């Protein structure tokens, strides 16, 4: 009769294989897919109706709202695809995820006067995604990539 001397874990603990980072990567992929879909809707709203967003006075990076709509639509499609690539464990998804999350931070910063709360939230999500993808060193090892 053998006794188990290891006490059971009562709370999640980070492991040597990067368990938290791997979980963060999956969560980052989900966040990228969701933010990409929401960017698609944001772009469609700006393309369809110019008065959906507040007009900005003299802003240095002022674009026509239809232009912003196309920017968000295209960026949203690509971010969504990269999010699904991350969830599949593809290495191109990780690289594209870091690059697109960085690009999304810049785009949301420029869009800040039109939708300040959403832009700040989206920038924070993108920072988390960059952290999750950059710190998970076991990425793709368990998925056969």
Shortest CA distance to 21 belongs to which of 131, 144, 143? 131
The pLDDT of residue 141: 55
Shortest CA distance to 99 belongs to which of 71, 78, 120? 78
Q: What is the pLDDT of residues 65-114, one digit of tens each?
A: 888 889 999 999 999 999 999 999 888 988 999 999 999 999 989 888 88
Q: pLDDT exceeding 70 applies to what percent of the chain?
A: 70
> Can you point out the beta strands (E) in 45-139?
none
35, 84 in Cβ contact below 8 A? no
Task: Report residue 53: phi and psi, to 5°.
Answer: -105, 155
The pLDDT of residue 144: 47
pTM, rounded to two decimals: 0.74
CB atoms within 10 A of CB 65: 20
Helical pair 91-110 and 116-135, crossing angle rounded to 10 deg: 150
25 pLDDT band (50/70/90 cuts)?
confident
pLDDT at 9 over 50: no
133, 102 in Cβ contact below 8 A? no
């Amino acid at each position: 009769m053998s006794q188990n001397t290891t006490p059971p874990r009562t709370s999640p603990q980070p492991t040597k294989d990067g368990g938290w980072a791997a979980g963060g990567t999956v969560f980052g992929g989900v966040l990228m897919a969701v933010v990409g879909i929401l960017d698609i809707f944001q772009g469609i709203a700006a393309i369809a109706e110019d008065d959906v967003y507040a007009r900005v006075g003299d802003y240095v990076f002022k674009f026509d709202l239809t232009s912003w709509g196309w920017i968000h639509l295209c960026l949203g499609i690509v971010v969504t695809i990269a999010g699904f690539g991350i969830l599949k464990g593809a290495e191109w998804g990780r690289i594209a995820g870091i690059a697109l999350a960085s690009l999304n931070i810049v785009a949301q910063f420029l869009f800040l006067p039109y939708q300040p709360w959403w832009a700040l939230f989206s920038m924070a999500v993108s920072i988390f995604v960059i952290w999750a993808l950059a710190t998970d060193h076991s990425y793709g090892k368990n998925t056969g990539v």
